[in-house]
Amino acid sequence: MSFFDIFTPKTIDTAVDGIYNSVDMAFYTDEEKAKAVQKAVDTKLKMLPLYEPFKLAQRYMAFAFTVNFILAFWVCVLIWMFGTKEQVTEFLGIVSTFQLGWIMLTIVAWYYGGGFVESAKKSIK
């Protein structure tokens, strides 16, 4: 058996295919870009139904805390109108203990932040 026996048609075809595939992978063609974009769109469309329970929970939490925040605001207004300054101060101390303002700020950022980030990404591109 000699050195040149390794050059059979099968080994030559395998080597040529390897070289061709390596050169082909070195260049990113428009067709490959289109396939990558289509794959990304398909992946995003497959992910949308998976986010539905999260979005529902997000809406419930936002609604529940918003009702509490608005109720606390109007109770404070009523105490301010019909109560004393000490009662308003005491009520605001209770509200600040629960930090409803920070909770509302977090919920608003969480609820609207995703859409804001997506629109910012689109405007940057």
Chain-centre distance for alpha carbon 87: 43
Domain enclosing residue 114, as ranges: 3-124
23-70 confidence digits (pLDDT tens): 666 676 778 788 888 988 888 888 878 777 777 877 888 888 888 888
- pLDDT, residue 1, reads 53
71-106 confidence digits (pLDDT tens): 988 998 999 999 888 998 998 888 888 888 888 888
Number of H helices, E strands in the chain: 4, 0
Q: What total of structural domains would you count in the chain?
A: 1
Q: Angle 85-98/30-82 helices, nearest 10 degrees?
A: 150
pTM: 0.49
SS3 label, residue 83: coil
Instruction: Give every CB contact of residue 92 below 8 A, 6+ residues apart in sequence.
Output: 76
Give the H/E segment covering residue 38: helix 30-82
SS3 label, residue 99: coil
